[in-house]
Amino acid sequence: MHLILSVASKLGVNLHGTDVVSAERVGARNRWSRAPGDSREGAGAGAGADRPLVVRLTRRAVKDELMTAARVRRGATSADLGQSSAPRPIYVNERLEHPNCLHYVRS
């Protein structure tokens, strides 16, 4: 929940916790990724991308506002989101299988 609210504020959208129905990671876990702070070397050390975050919003207008802001700020990165990893681009896509859902993907 904190991550999507941070992304929304970075994109310039005033999103409240009451606008979000659910937020969850989807897809298979990367079996080679390491836990934060685990510095073991070897195959898979530092490998793996974050799983997509699917966010379901209460209203379509909120989703459209977030999508428009993401298109305007297409070059946004994760620099100011308070994460320990290197800044990476932020991608926001519609999830067409479910209405009022968005994919937030950091690759």
pLDDT given for residue 40 in this prediction: 46
Contacts of 75 (CB under 8 A, 6+ apart): 89
- Residue boundaries of the structural domains of the chain: 2-27+48-106
pLDDT in tens, 28-50: 877 655 555 554 444 444 445 67
Predicted pLDDT of residue 106:
61
Query: pTM for this structure?
Result: 0.69
Nearest alpha carbon to residue 62 among 3, 19, 5: 19
Is pLDDT of 107 > 60? no
Structure tokens at 83: 């994460």
